[in-house]
Amino acid sequence: MSTVQHRIVPQHVAIIMDGNGRWANARGLPRTFGHRKGVETVRETVKAAGEAGVGFLTLFAFSSENWRRPEAEINELFGLLKAFIRRDLADLHRAGIRIRIIGDRVNLRDDIRSLLLEAEETTTNNTGMTLVIAFNYGSRDEIARAAARLAADVQAGRLDPSQIDASKLNDCLDTAGIPDPDLVIRTSGEERLSNFLLWQAAYAELMFVPDFWPDFTPALFDSVLERYAARDRRFGGLSAKAVAVGS
């Protein structure tokens, strides 16, 4: 019998990358420096997730509510996404990573939209980890768009309202084909979901870490995975341990 202990690894980890601005402010730097440093953390985290055996990694990069920020900061965040895809796409492709984008694309600029499409199309046949980038993403917007798609199907006579169930709605979300997140991590000490994967995270384990995103190291990521492995997930049923002792 092997004595190697295999840790339970979440199939899908989703991260709310928060605290870039506060990281920069704490150093007397403009917020944009925090966003730039945050991109380095993205690179390290993608690598660490792949090495840990995570199948799907979703990163919240820009929310549908982040349009409320000053225009200069929005431009910086869009510029960083563009630069990241231009600089890193070839490396990610070589590493076998498949890229998926979730969020509302219709209202994005043409240059961003085509770059996102290029990232998805280039990597579509890769079989390694799937990196899901949530860009211009908000759960309520996503669910409303899914409802509109179902309504259009009903109107066109392709679907009867009695056939609509959770699985049908799920199939109309941006995340169709992606398993639900097992673990949602938020950095920076904030303990809220901020409109992120509200439907999909119904049974996710939530982990809040006090560190700002630019300080989120692979070692910290590993410690979160360790904590996840110790959690008892019941999905409304009974824990495997309770069943074993017949209680």
As annotated, the binding site includes 18-23, 31, 35, 63-65, 67, 69, 186, 192-194, 205
**147 vs 153: CA distance, rounded Å:** 10
From residue 43, give the alpha-carbon distance in Å to each of 214, 216, 228.
Answer: 11, 11, 22
103 backbone dihedrals φ, ψ, rounded to 5°: 125, 175
> Which of ligand IPE, Mg ion, none sits in contact with 16, Cβ below 5 to 8 A by type?
ligand IPE
Nearer to ligand IPE, 134 or 150 (CB): 134
Q: Which sign does the torsion angle of CA 43, 45, 51, 54 carry? A: negative
Residue with tokens 């211009």: 136
Q: Is 205 in the site for Mg ion (CB under 5 A)?
A: no
Min dist CB 18 to Mg ion, Å, is: 4
Q: Is 139 in the site for ligand IPE (CB under 6 A)?
A: no
66 is annotated as an active-site residue: yes
Q: Which sign does the torsion angle of CA 103, 9, 17, 91 carry? A: negative
The neighbour count for residue 201, using CB atoms within 10 Å, is 19
CA Rg value for the chain: 19
Mark the segment that binds Mg ion (CB under 5 A) among 14-22, 104-112, 146-154, 237-245: 14-22
Min dist CB 148 to Mg ion, Å, is: 29
195 is annotated as an active-site residue: no
Nearer to ligand IPE, 18 or 142 (CB): 18
> Which of ligand IPE, Mg ion, none sits in contact with 61, Cβ below 5 to 8 A by type?
ligand IPE
Helix (H) or strand (E) holding 16: strand 12-16
Residues catalogued as catalytic: 18, 66
The binding site for ligand IPE (CB under 6 A) comprises 16-22, 60-63, 66, 77, 188, 190, 192, 194, 213
